[in-house]
Amino acid sequence: MTGSANLESSLKANVASIQERTGNSDDLVVRDIGIGTEGAGIDFAILYFEGLTEEKSINQFIIEPLLNFGATRGEHPLTDVHMLMDRLRKSVFAVGQIEAINDLAAALDALMSGGVLVLCDGYAQGLRISMAGGEQRAVTEPTNQSVIRGPKESFTENIRVNSALIRRIIKVPNLVLHNRKLGKETRTNVSIMYIQGIVDPTALSEVGKRLGSIDTDAILESGYIEEFIQDEPYTIFPTVLNTERPDTVAAALLEGRIAILIDGTPHVLLVPALFVQFFQASEDYYQRADISTLLRALRYFGLFIATLVPALYVAITTYHQEMIPTQLLISLAAQREGVPFPAFVEAIIMEATYEILREAGVRMPRAVGQAVSIVGTLVIGQAAVEAGIISASMIIVVSITAISSYIIPVFDMSIAVRITRFLFMGLAAAFGMFGIFVGMCAMLLHLSSLRSFGVPYMAPVGPFVLSDQKDVILRVPHRSMKTRPSLFGKLNPIRTRRKDRDQP
Amino acid sequence: MNRKLFLTIVALASLLPLTGCWDRRELNELAISLALAIDRIDDRYLVTVQVVQPSEVVSQKGGGETTPVTVYQSEGVTLFEAIRKMTTYSPRKIYAAHLRVAVFGEALAREGIGDALDLLSRDYEFRTDFYLLVSKGMTAERTLKVLTPLDKIPASKLFNSIQTSSKAWAPSVTATLDEFLEDIEGEGRNPVLSGIRVAGNASKGDTKDNLNQVRPPARLRNAGLAVFRKDRLVGWMNERESKGYSYITNNVKSTVGHIPCPDGGKAAIEVVHSEAKLKGSVKDGRAKLAVELSVEENLGEVQCRIDLTRSESIRELEREAENTLTEILDKALGVAQNKYKSDIFGFGEAVHRSNPSAWKSMKDDWDNLFADTYVDVQVKVKIKRTGTIGNSYKERKE
């Protein structure tokens, strides 16, 4: 790009080169304004992209003051253009962000990111005014991570709205935000947020380094960045947490973690992310500690069901029939009478059917949703059993597995669980329980070898950190949660100080 | 590099179908057998297996078109051959891990069941937790050809009724394969097994007609205890003698018996706790044996005139109960000592424990020594409760 070209002093030349650079796009608005008397007047041009800016405000705070200024100063022709521009910038335009720019590249950048460019004839500088606006989605309730008790705000596609949502929760000057632009073509705004004095400096510099090394043409969503910065690309387990809830981000920042906000997506990345954090819902901290602890235990139980139940069913019914109580064995055998497939094929058919239904449910147009779900219920539920192709017990196994995988609060983890389920089913079909246990060992080894920004993925379980057990399966009451997680909040460990309570 | 990795993965993945699956059996490839009967015909074994028809047992819609179980039979010089030979009649391989009971014919039992037990304990598919039974006065196969009401599978009917009655009725005794083997391998104790017979019209038991009558013509019945000397059946004990056996071997969890009242009439008592101590010692080269039994009872039914509000009358009843129990124990001991000459109670173990060196010289001839030794019986009874009323209503009217 030849972006280093400076602006010229001819207004016409500047406007022409901007139009040429933007390919004469029709949504580039060029408003000509002349002030002063005939012959001694000065020509201005106001440029902006339609839809990216707030046109009402442009009329009210840029064009109107300019015209008024021209009208009052009409008798005294202003020949010194430099003084004129300085004056305009300082006391005419009623806007917040305004700065003088010299080169064409900056001018274009201002236009592309929703700014307004004011050019003046005979003056080789321009004024860049931030007036980004236009239509955008409002802050709404979270759709993927909903709660019963707790804030009902979620992030939007606008990065500044998102950072503001976080700043509204944490009102300390230590909350730091640094901007950078990523993607050669998209020039996407990416912000790193953290709390100075709590954040782990080594993780912070690691995040900066990894973001800096991204060299790609486009960042369209947080997933792009997640894949570029994760520690281990070849794993099915997520090592970066994403959330659409400002309160979750605030809580993570307070634990000493780092948030990465990306313009254009309501998903904010949090690092470092540990295995246990994928089983913590924000509501755990808003409900009473006892029920939160029970729900945590239920989630880990759900993890085992979702990963292992189809595999166990296949292994036990095809290799280890002696493990089943006699009555149950007879009733399972009765259900399998006449079923033409081996249990493993049966399980694969049903799991695949379910995955197809699930994927169709996400992608299909809303209007046909009901039709698909009716057909799906009939196919999965009844027809397959009545036709004698699938045994009824297999339907139960697939259903409980499907439901259990959604008890995990973070969707990325339930995706990982779905993949492991198929691996375990294959092992169970070939080796029975032996295969399942070998697979479990392999999975555990793999999980223990993962790291997220230098922090062991399975911490605080392995390596075991006693003081961090307060928030793994247990969620102790906030009064007892005295310190931050020791792995990334060690700079400022104290959360809660015990004060003597007044006895009633 | 990538190509190498890819080939490695392919090689590893192909291991799965190559090595795995060799002992895979789908549920509908199994003939789930719940009962096994072994008889001796000349020098061959006759093996009968009761196989469940799952769809008849778990009938989702109607069902009941055929019998819930079917029976396969075959003969062979060894049991293993006979069972394998069944695949020529049965569409599925016999699966024995869920076996509930194994029945031995009386004729085979009198010859000795040790050889037959070898397969049951050697084959990996057999567990050791099924009950062993002996069919009294008939071949074992006949006991497997009786359909039972309530519990559709005759084998599980047998299993459950033995289990339930052993908890609530003293004469019933259970013995699983491992317990039986422990008794015949160990020293100083001979095993017993529960007996079973088909009561009523046995030939009608194997059709569905048997289930279509309120009182089935053919019924499976407990037939007392089969007394063994090592692995050989030597005789039977009746109900009263079996009761004595259960008391002495601490097999009574709860039971009901009756005692005579001091002034005529009868009273039924329920045993809630019973503890027997076997004592064996050696004095002057002779074994000294004793049983101390202490029993806690509740009064369950009073059919006589007695003032239960007086503690003396309770004491009188206790004394009657002690006498009755002593009689029962003496009877059981007498039968085992004099009639069968078999130490089924484990007195030998008690002697062994108290005097191992003397036991060494005794053990070879223990059954005869036991038969000649006097056993001292001490019984203590405590009546704890009299139920929800005090005196019988007849008593109160006057």
User: In this complex, do B27 and A333 lie within 8 Å of one another by their Cβ atoms?
Assistant: yes
A67-to-A60, A93, A304 alpha-carbon distances in Å:
11, 11, 71
Whether B21 is in a domain gets the answer no
Q: Domain boundary at B222, B237, B252, which?
A: B237
Chain-centre distance for alpha carbon A159: 11
- Which is higher by pLDDT, B13 or A241? A241
Q: Is A335 on the interface with B (CB under 8 A)?
A: yes
Distance from C-alpha of B289 to C-alpha of B273, rounded to nearest angstrom: 23
B164 and B143 fall within a common domain: yes
**Residue A2's pLDDT band (boundaries 50, 70, 90)?**
very low
User: In this complex, do A330 and B95 lie within 8 Å of one another by their Cβ atoms?
Assistant: no
Region A21-44: mean pLDDT is: 81
Q: Is A365 on the interface with B (CB under 8 A)?
A: no
Note the pLDDT tens digit of each residue in A375-400. 877 777 778 888 888 888 998 999 99
A102: domain range?
A: 11-130
A317 and A184 fall within a common domain: no
A392: closest chain B residue by CA: B60
Contacts of A333 in chain B (CB under 8 A): 27-28, 30, 32, 52, 54
A266 and A302 fall within a common domain: no
A209 and A324 fall within a common domain: no
Min Cα–Cα distance to chain B from A422, Å: 14
Sign of CA dihedral A309, A310, A315, A321: positive
Of B28, B34, B153, the CB nearest to A337: B28
Region A254-270: mean pLDDT is: 94
Q: Domain boundary at A241, A273, A305, which?
A: A273
Q: Is A435 on the interface with B (CB under 8 A)?
A: yes
The residue ranges of DSSP E strands in A9-70, in sequence order, are 28-35, 42-49
Split into its structural domains, chain A has a count of: 3
Rounded to two decimals, what is the model's pTM? Answer: 0.84
Count of residues in chain A: 504
CB A104 within 8 A of CB A22: no
CB B15 within 8 A of CB A321: no
**Residue A73's pLDDT band (boundaries 50, 70, 90)?**
low
Give the position of tokens 């007047």.
Answer: A41
B224 and B312 fall within a common domain: no
Q: What share of chain B is helix, strand, coil (3-state, %, to 5)?
A: 40, 30, 30
- Which is higher by pLDDT, B167 or A312? A312
Question: What contacts B309, CB < 8 A, 6 or more positions away?
Answer: B390, B391
User: In this complex, do B98 and A326 lie within 8 Å of one another by their Cβ atoms?
Assistant: yes
Counting one residue from A and one from B, how many pairs have CB atoms under 8 Å apart?
Answer: 74
CB A203 within 8 A of CB A455: yes
Whole-number pLDDT of residue A297: 94
Interface of B with A (CB under 8 A): 16-17, 19-21, 23-28, 30, 32, 34, 52, 54-55, 57-58, 60, 95, 97-98, 100, 125, 127, 153, 156
A237-to-A240, A276, A418, B229 alpha-carbon distances in Å:
9, 12, 11, 65
B158 and B278 fall within a common domain: no
Note the pLDDT tens digit of each residue in A313-360. 999 999 999 899 988 999 899 888 888 889 999 999 999 988 888 888
B80: domain range?
A: 28-237
Whole-number pLDDT of residue A123: 81
CB A317 within 8 A of CB A332: yes
Interface confidence, given as ipTM, is 0.82
User: In this complex, do A338 and B23 lie within 8 Å of one another by their Cβ atoms?
Assistant: no
CB B46 within 8 A of CB B63: no
Region A418-442: mean pLDDT is: 93
Whole-number pLDDT of residue A62: 87
Whether B304 is in a domain gets the answer yes
Cis peptide before A310 (omega within 30 of 0): no
User: In this complex, do A330 and B52 lie within 8 Å of one another by their Cβ atoms?
Assistant: yes
Mean pLDDT of each 10-residue bin along chain B, 398 residues long: 84 71 82 92 91 81 73 91 88 89 93 88 87 92 88 88 85 88 86 90 82 86 88 91 91 88 86 91 86 92 85 90 92 91 90 89 87 91 86 68
Q: Domain boundary at B237, B259, B279, which?
A: B237
Tell me: pLDDT of A426 over 50: yes
A269 and A310 fall within a common domain: no
Whole-number pLDDT of residue B396: 66
Q: How many helices (H) and strands (E) does chain B have?
A: 14, 13
Distance from C-alpha of A149 to C-alpha of A2, rounded to nearest angstrom: 55
A299 and A421 fall within a common domain: yes
Which residue of A313, A319, A321 to mutate against B (max B Cβ within 10 Å)? Answer: A321
Cis peptide before A272 (omega within 30 of 0): yes
B223 and B365 fall within a common domain: no
B69: closest chain A residue by CA: A330
Distance from C-alpha of B126 to C-alpha of B334, rounded to nearest angstrom: 37
B147 and B32 fall within a common domain: yes
B34 and B163 fall within a common domain: yes
Q: Domain boundary at A434, A456, A478, which?
A: A456
A259-to-A162, A200, A276 alpha-carbon distances in Å:
11, 13, 18
B174 and B252 fall within a common domain: no
Contacts of B54 in chain A (CB under 8 A): 330-331, 333-334, 337
B178 and B259 fall within a common domain: no
A174 and A113 fall within a common domain: no
Whether B375 is in a domain gets the answer yes
Distance from C-alpha of B143 to C-alpha of B135, rounded to nearest angstrom: 7
Note the pLDDT tens digit of each residue in B324-381. 999 999 999 999 999 999 999 989 989 998 888 888 888 888 888 888 889 999 999 9
Tell me: pLDDT of A500 over 70: no
Whether B8 is in a domain gets the answer no
What single-letter amino acid sits at A209? K
Phi then psi for residue A398, to 5 deg, are -65, -40
CB B289 within 8 A of CB B350: yes
Tell me: pLDDT of A266 over 90: yes
Contacts of B125 in chain A (CB under 8 A): 322
Distance from C-alpha of A419 to C-alpha of A412, rounded to nearest angstrom: 11
Region A32-52: mean pLDDT is: 81
B368 and B264 fall within a common domain: yes
B46 and B125 fall within a common domain: yes
